[in-house]
């Protein structure tokens, strides 16, 4: 039974390991939209970086325009079905080391299918003076937004104006001036709000004048306060509302008709003080409302995409106007004088003409990436710029392209909303990031992805997540060389190893300030290069700079120095040389100069018992080892109570120049400072005793001879 249980444990363990392997190997994540490009990333000893990329210093960008199997436009953008064009890149910021600029770059396009539009406008008795002026201005702005599409014939527009009567253009046109002339000289303002008649006439204009291959749209502009409706056809089916008509402001429709006597002069009216027309029958407002919305349902069912602009609507007007819109996003409101009509029509034009009508960009930061300004991300932390091509095809700044874009940040995720881009329109957004060089996991000269999966949803509600290629960055590290030299120290007094530690200054966060105790041994020739240092038992890389881009200062301090020794630390680039000599009272007994690589006859006048030297990481990561005539700095006190001498050393990013293997073999063994001098003296006395015994033993033999 025990064997069986052990087998089960082994099998369960293997199953878990295999499961983790497959999850890791296939990089399981939420699926993107089917039309998105698939970008692959390498994850190896060099870090994480995109395949088909180009390294440049500390940046690694996608090779735009030159990757097989990926569609690009003539400017090198990733081309998503001529609908959206994306780039994402990074470059080093020249103003401060370790600071990088990430740029999102997006272009839109013009819709590639024909669209036929009819504006259905409430042209009641108040449609004159300022109100008519604003209506004409709004129509002109609408035409300006759709200029390219109108000129190419891709979009055509017609108008229906209604009150108790109805007026319609002669078909659809791409000439806005023709439409303006219709409103000024053909349509007449009268009393009465026959919304149902206007909507039916709008559908008729699309049915008769619209193109079969075109998308059909209807835009209603009015307060929604319908006070007239057609009579239902006798015996026509009555439909129970099952959500086709939505409740607003406590208004509700139980049942509705879709078939009406549109050719009859008879009508229902809720206007008690209105017309004296004998054809009108006074009814409750709910009858007019339900009839109007029944026709709206029928129009929507005929695949006409409906928009609605409520003109200072009442509660009941909101109920009707909102239900005219095919979706809640298709509903807009303006003031009673139509002052905001141009802006509302402009927003609708974006949806009609632009391939990115209402896009959302989601941009999360990568692991160990510090977004500058996170937690309080304002316009000071980024540059958002709009662009438009001029007649010569050159990009020029166009601030109006970004006027509606909203930028926000939460939990290190950037979001850009209301991105609207059409043909020859583009936005760029640049922000700053750093690598968290003070992280316990920091690895120098290793690629870090700037971001997680970055996507664009062109319409915000379609879940078409188009991916950006993600760039990578890296940061340099310091490489130290530590050497031990002895001056005027007899070989028998040289121990097998010494101890030292490395400290650093200028941390911006609660990270390590000193290493564990490090041993430099005779077997290593008392000379060693360090790419990592032990800190709390973990091997740590040594970054050049902190999270503000300021250089770290690294210090080397010798530990456990015997009282009989004078000690100092000198520097050369990233190299530390620890020098020991016997105090003056001991020198007369010793005349040997020992070093990890060579001899030195220099005399050091110092009474220090421990020694420290500093590296300022602004010079070089290249440390050149070798004997140096020591210069004794001024003594100071260490944290552990021993005396130390400090001398600044700077580090840079160049490679470390180490000694050849031949020179290492030629090095003499050097002492371990931690050994007690008492042991050394006892050893010397023992040698003297052995020599004396040998002398006494040998002398009688010689005399006998």
pLDDT tens figures, 627-638: 333 333 333 334
Asked whether residue 604 carries a pLDDT value surpassing 60, the answer given is no
How far does Cα 557 stand from its chain's mean position? Answer: 42
Tell me which residue of 387, 341, 323 sits closest to 77, measured CA to CA: 387
In whole angstroms, give the CA distance from residue 614 to residue 377.
37
Beta strands in 99-148 (DSSP E): 100-107, 115-122
Chain position carrying tokens 């038992």: 537
Question: What average pLDDT does this structure show over 19-40?
Answer: 48
On average, the pLDDT of the chain sits at 83
Confidence at 543, pLDDT banded by 50, 70, 90: very high
d(CA 483, CA 598): 11
Q: 36 falls in which pLDDT band (50, 70, 90)? A: low
Tokens 């309080």 map to which residue?
376
Q: Is the pLDDT of residue 435 over 80?
A: yes
pLDDT in tens, 329-357: 899 999 999 999 999 999 899 889 999 99
Choice between 684 and 383, residue whose per-residue pLDDT is larger: 383
Calculate Rg over the CA atoms of the chain.
42
pLDDT for position 384? 98
Look at residue 5 and give its three-state secondary structure: helix
| pLDDT one-digit tens code per residue, 202-243 | 999 999 999 999 999 999 999 999 999 999 999 999 999 999
How far apart CA 578 and CA 486 sit, in angstroms, is: 9
pLDDT at residue number 19: 41
Chain length of the chain: 705
Task: Quick: pLDDT tens for 459-512.
Answer: 877 678 999 999 999 999 999 999 999 888 888 888 899 999 999 999 998 889
Question: What is the pairing mode between strands 553-559 and 497-505?
Answer: antiparallel
The total of other beta-carbon atoms located within 10 Å of residue 702's CB is 7
Q: How confident is the model at residue 170 (pLDDT cuts 50, 70, 90)?
A: very high
Nearest to 441 by CA among 541, 551, 509, 550: 541
Residue 606 pLDDT exceeds 90: no
| Mean per-residue pLDDT, 142-147 | 92
pLDDT confidence of residue 565: 83
- pLDDT at residue 25, as a whole number: 36
Which residues on adjacent β-strands are paired with residue 616? 553, 650
Instruction: Please give the Cα distance from 670 to 526 (Å, whole number).
Output: 6
Neighbours of 129 (CB within 10 A): 9
Rounded CA gap, 510 and 694, in Å? 63
Q: Bigger pLDDT: 687 or 665?
A: 687
Q: What CA–CA distances, in Å, run from 144 to 386, 493, 521, 701?
A: 18, 93, 80, 124
pLDDT in tens, 58-111: 999 999 999 999 999 999 999 999 999 999 999 999 999 999 999 999 999 998
> Mean pLDDT lowest for which of 96-100, 137-141, 275-279, 304-308?
275-279
What's the pLDDT score for residue 564?
A: 81
In the chain, % of residues over pLDDT 70: 77
The Cα–Cα gap between 386 and 437 comes to: 34
Report pLDDT for 529: 97
Q: Are 597 and 659 in contact (CB under 8 A)?
A: yes
Furthest C-alpha separation in the chain: 164
pLDDT number for residue 567: 86
Structure-block tokens of residue 250: 């406590």
pLDDT of residue 661: 37
Q: Is 445 left (phi over 0), alpha (psi -120 to 50) or beta?
A: left
pLDDT over 90 for what percent of the chain? 68
The answer to whether residue 321 scores a pLDDT higher than 70 is: yes
Kindly write down the DSSP assignment for every residue of 168-218, as one continuous string. Answer: E-SS-BS-HHHHHHHHHHT---BS---HHHHHHHHHHHHHHHS-TTSEEEE
């Amino acid at each position: 039974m025990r064997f069986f249980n052990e087998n089960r444990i082994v099998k369960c363990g293997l199953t878990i390991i295999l499961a983790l392997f497959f999850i890791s190997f296939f990089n399981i994540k939420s699926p993107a939209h089917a039309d998105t490009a698939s970008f692959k990333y390498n994850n190896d000893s060099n870090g994480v970086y995109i395949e088909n990329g180009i390294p440049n210093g500390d940046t690694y960008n996608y090779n735009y325009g030159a990757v097989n199997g990926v569609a690009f436009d003539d400017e090198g953008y990733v081309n998503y079905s001529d609908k959206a064009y994306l780039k994402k890149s990074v470059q080093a910021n020249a103003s401060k080391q370790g600071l990088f600029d990430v740029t999102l770059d997006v272009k839109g396009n013009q819709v590639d299918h024909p669209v036929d539009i009819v504006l259905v406008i409430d042209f009641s008795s108040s449609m004159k003076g300022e109100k008519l002026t604003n209506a004409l201005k709004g129509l002109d702005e609408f035409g300006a937004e759709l200029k390219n599409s109108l000129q190419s014939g891709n979009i055509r527009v017609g108008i229906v104006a209604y009150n108790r009567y109805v007026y319609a253009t002669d078909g659809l046109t791409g000439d806005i001036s023709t439409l303006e002339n219709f409103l000024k000289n053909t349509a007449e303002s009268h009393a009465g709000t026959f919304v149902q008649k206007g909507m039916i006439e709008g559908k008729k204009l699309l049915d008769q004048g619209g193109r079969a291959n075109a998308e059909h749209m209807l835009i209603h502009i009015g307060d929604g306060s319908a006070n007239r409706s057609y009579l239902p056809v006798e015996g026509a089916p009555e439909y129970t509302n099952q959500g086709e008509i939505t409740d607003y402001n406590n208004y509700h429709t139980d049942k509705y008709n879709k078939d009406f006597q549109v050719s009859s002069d008879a009508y229902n009216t809720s206007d008690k003080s209105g017309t004296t027309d004998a054809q009108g029958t006074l009814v409750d407002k709910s009858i007019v409302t339900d009839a109007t919305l029944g026709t709206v349902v029928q129009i929507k069912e005929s695949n006409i995409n409906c928009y609605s602009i409520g003109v200072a609507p009442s509660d009941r007007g909101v109920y009707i106007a909102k239900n005219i819109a095919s979706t809640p996003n298709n509903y807009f409101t303006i003031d009673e004088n139509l002052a905001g009509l141009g802006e509302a029509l402009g927003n609708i034009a974006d949806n009609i003409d632009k391939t990115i009508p209402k896009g959302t960009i989601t941009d999360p930061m990568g692991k160990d990436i510090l977004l500058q300004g996170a937690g309080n991300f304002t316009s000071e932390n980024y540059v958002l710029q709009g662009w438009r091509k001029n007649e010569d095809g050159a990009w020029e700044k166009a601030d109006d392209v970004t006027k509606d874009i909203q930028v926000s940040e939460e939990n290190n995720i950037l979001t850009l909303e209301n991105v609207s881009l059409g043909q020859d329109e583009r936005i760029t957004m640049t922000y700053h990031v750093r690598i968290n060089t003070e992280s316990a996991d920091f690895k120098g000269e290793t690629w870090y992805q700037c971001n997680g999966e970055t996507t664009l949803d062109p319409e915000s509600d379609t879940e078409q997540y188009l991916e950006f290629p993600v760039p990578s960055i890296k940061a340099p590290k310091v490489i130290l060389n530590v050497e031990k030299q002895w001056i005027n120290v007899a070989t028998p007094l040289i121990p097998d190893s010494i101890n030292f530690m490395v400290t650093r200054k200028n941390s911006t966060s609660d990270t390590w300030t000193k290493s564990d105790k490090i041993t430099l041994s005779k077997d290593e020739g008392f000379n060693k290069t360090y790419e990592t240092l032990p800190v709390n038992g973990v091997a740590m890389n040594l970054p050049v700079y902190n999270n503000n881009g300021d250089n770290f200062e690294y210090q080397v301090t010798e530990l456990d120095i015997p009282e009989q020794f004078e000690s100092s630390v000198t520097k050369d680039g990233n190299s530390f040389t620890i020098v020991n000599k016997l105090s003056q009272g001991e020198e007369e007994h010793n005349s040997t100069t020992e070093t990890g690589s060579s001899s030195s006859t220099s005399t050091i006048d110092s009474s220090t018992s421990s020694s420290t030297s500093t590296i300022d990481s602004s010079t070089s990561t290249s440390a050149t080892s070798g004997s140096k005539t020591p210069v004794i700095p001024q003594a100071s006190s260490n944290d552990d109570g021993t005396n130390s001498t400090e001398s600044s050393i700077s580090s840079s990013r160049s490679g470390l120049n180490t000694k050849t293997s031949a020179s290492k073999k030629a090095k003499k063994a050097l002492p371990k400072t931690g050994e007690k001098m008492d042991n050394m003296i006892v050893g010397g006395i023992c040698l003297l005793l052995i020599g004396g015994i040998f002398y006494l033993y040998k002398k009688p033999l010689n005399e006998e001879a």
